Amino acid sequence: MRVMTPFDFMAPALEASRIMMESQTVIGLRLAGMAGFWPMAASETDLMLAEKLSAGMDSAQAALRIGMAGGNLSEVAMAAMKPVRATTRANAKRLQRKVAGS
pLDDT for 102 equals: 60
For residues 88 and 15, the answer to whether their CB atoms sit within 8 Å is no
Q: Give yes or no for residue 101 having a pLDDT over 90.
A: no
Mean pLDDT of 52-81: 96
pLDDT for 40 equals: 84
**Amino acid letter, 9:** F
Residue 29, classified by CB atoms within 10 Å of its CB into exposed (0-12), middle (13-18) or buried (19+), is: buried
pLDDT for 98 equals: 80
Q: pTM for this structure?
A: 0.85
Q: Give yes or no for residue 33 having a pLDDT over 80.
A: yes
What is the pLDDT confidence band of residue 83, given thresholds at 50, 70 and 90? Answer: very high
Q: Is 21 left (phi over 0), alpha (psi -120 to 50) or beta?
A: alpha
